[in-house]
Structure 1
Amino acid sequence: VGSDSIPLHRYNFSQRNNGSLYSVARRMRYHIQGSTLRINPKPSTNDTITVWYVPSPKKFLEKTVTAITRGSSTMWTVGENHGFVVGDTITGTGFLPAADYDVDQTISAVGAATVTTDLDSSGLSDPTTFGSVESRFNFFSGWDSFVIVTAATDCLVKEEADITALTMEKEQLRARITAVSEMRDLGEPVTVTDVSSYYTGFNYFNYL
């Protein structure tokens, strides 16, 4: 609001109509319902809301490339229903020459069967061997460690070796990931609803 930043408090679902009579930014509350963030009362067009959140993990994708269009950006033909979105980081794998195309790049546009990246291939030759493009992610909350430990456990099982230590570590990682995924709203704890004053509006000073 202006040059001031005001943290918003949460409201319970039963309080969803309480703020309809107010437009003061200090009395705004938020509520997360499924994948929807609701603000009550409705913000004015002059307000800026910053949302801090833990994103859901993305699915690993790998698609075989059948054609390439070179230029200041590079368009890869990967087939329909590829699942990539703008902003994803991908890398080429299995291309020859590898030094030209097996590099990280960011998707700038997607089509029904194509993805366009920021790779400047205008000075490159067409690949002599086509490979595939696959997802690249920055992991958080132990997701990458869980994959590594799971793979290591599977290897030890095949060797008929002791997996006790890895099993314990895997369960610790699982608990950490589950805890983060269940509590995606880390702003503040759940509040108690005063049902005796159900129809009263939000009072900023009483809710601090």
Structure 2
Amino acid sequence: MATSMTLSQLMSATRQRADMFPVGYTPSLTNTDYFVTDPELISYINQSYFELYDLLVTTYEDYYVADPLIIPTDGTTNLYPLPDGVLYSAAKEFYKVLGVDLGLNNSGNAFVTLKKFDFIGRNRYLYPQLTSTYLGVFNLRYRVVGNNLMLIPTPSAGQYIRMWYIPRMQTLTALADVADGVSGWTEYIITDAAIKCAQKEETDVTVLAMQKAALIKRIEETAMNRDAGQPDTISNVRSQLERWGGDFGTGNTPMGGY
């Protein structure tokens, strides 16, 4: 199976998998001569594509990461619009945030990691706000609110926010559009779209469902070893304890810390 396929190729492959491939079939954006019309099939393929994309970016976490976005602060704004494909020099449209950093000075370097604020703690900051220390940051937190990145308290001017994020998947609309960013997993799109076709025809989907389950299992298993040299983890607890000087094996309590 090709690592990437056009919408036209996906339509033909899906009809073959669902046993709905008429003699002389040619994919079209408007063909309504079949029980599952081509416009309906395109909708199924995009739904399956979105499902695969969600599965990959959730399971792998760093499967498809956009270039980090740098946003300068002005000292008065605490809501910064998320990239929509037009803003920030046409940066890729936002889908999910991976993390947010703050530059400790106005040269845009020496970044520190920001944490997301809990909703219950949204009003914990006192006025007048203390937005910086000698390190340039004081209790700054972030949260995605609607189409904006909210920062509390309002950051001081001349600093830089760096946001790491996953871009939104592009819908397949033209026959030549390519299902990309899902290298090697186009089989999932075909199988899931074929299930949707068979369900409309009220055909047994047991075999297709088993194929889909096997593909999901493979994705979940391979995600752990994407970087064979250093499998990904949420955080390195052992390294934190070693840096703090703690050793639970001897009963010592972790001390200090940065």
More helix by share: 2
Greater RCO, 1 or 2 (C-alpha within 8 Å, sep 6+) = 2
TM-score range, shorter chain: 0.3 to 0.5
- Superposition TM-score, scaled by structure 1 size: 0.38
